[in-house]
Amino acid sequence: MQNDHNGFNLALPYLTAHLPGVGGRLRTEADHFVVEEIGLYEASGEGQHLYVNLTKTGLTTREVQLHLERLFGLARGAVGFAGLKDKFARTTQTFSLNVGHQPAAFIDEAVRRIEAALPVQVNWAQFHRNKLRPGHLLGNRFQITVTDLAVTTEEAVVRSRAIVDEIRRRGLPNFFGVQRFGHKGANVYQGLELLLGRRALKDRWLRRFLISSYQSYLCNCYLVRRLEIGAFERLLMGDVAKKVTTGGMFDVEDLEQEQLRYEAQEINFTAPIYGSRMWPAKAEAGALEQEILASSPVTLAHFEQAHIEGSRRVGRLLIPDLEVEAFDGKLIARFTLPKGAYATIVMRELMKVDEDQFSLVNEEENEDLE
């Protein structure tokens, strides 16, 4: 990917640049991009919200939401979901329907109504106490098929497994996918204009989304810089680290001790999602964060004026279950990612093709827009 016409460098390096990819194409059929949502919790069996887990193709998450609201005569917003899923894929996710307290027999009737009215398969349904909201998920499981490989099946096996071994050992930078930035970085540019006060926008959701695109761009710049200085394989003094098992965060003060935990994949460094109340890194890591922000026309004061608090994002994706197989000129990759991570970041390492192909995949980030 080249620099866009607004001067933003959107290009991302490959972690496995020394290993050739397999080429190919993504999503020639819906069944070639399979996504299964991993819920944050199980339905309890009681409550006024009916959780419905279904598999769909050819429908966006919002289209299903509207269909379910009309089908059950519910008010706008009475159907919730944890994350947006692509239309041109086979996706499995859960919706919550605020139907009030109903007898158990209502479940079977609801399933029959849904399958009769919508081209979906209902996998299960159960009552729960609260509405599903964006972010109420652990992550997603993927099965992605690459067609039209640039090499033989045998060579694809050799190449892809070498890349998989590297990713399992080192992890991947948790880049935001190119699709977040719009055509030639249009979303990034509009987000910058909003932050600088050069543009106003009444639509609060769209305003927040565009500003988050600029935040995401800066986060990618930070991750690229860490790769350039050799600080992806190692922690920096003052990093804000995150525990893999519990999610707890802390400042890195004992660099030698924490580096051992980093190499054991027990902790990760976090990258900045700049904002007025972001937990800042210190020492060397803090200097790097300040360097990236200083290269931008935006300051923390701009974020404060825009009421953008900021947060932190895990900087290293660990993908221990990543596996691949190849047959009949196709490559199939299977893996699990935490919410907010992009499957295309994994696939670009395996394929190493024109980045424009990944911009067509409508992967939505599943974290709150912070």
Q: Which residues are catalytic?
A: 86
Start-end of H helices in the chain: 61-71, 105-117, 153-170, 186-195, 204-228, 255-263, 283-294, 300-305, 343-351, 356-359
* Spatial distance between the Cα atoms of 135 and 360, rounded to a whole number of angstroms: 23
Label residue 262 left, alpha or beta by phi (over 0 means left) and psi (-120 to 50 means alpha): alpha
* Spatial distance between the Cα atoms of 214 and 44, rounded to a whole number of angstroms: 39
DSSP code of residue 151: S
Q: Which two tokens stand for residue 152?
A: 């033989």
* Spatial distance between the Cα atoms of 21 and 26, rounded to a whole number of angstroms: 14
Q: Give the residue carrying structure tokens 């860490």.
A: 226
Q: Which two tokens stand for residue 200?
A: 């106003």
* Spatial distance between the Cα atoms of 61 and 66, rounded to a whole number of angstroms: 9
Q: What are phi and psi of 303, to 5 degrees?
A: -65, -40
Q: Which of 188, 196, 215 is nearest to 272 (CA)?
A: 215
Q: Which of 100, 77, 93 is nearest to 136 (CA)?
A: 93
- The bridge status of strand 137-147 relative to strand 25-26 is antiparallel
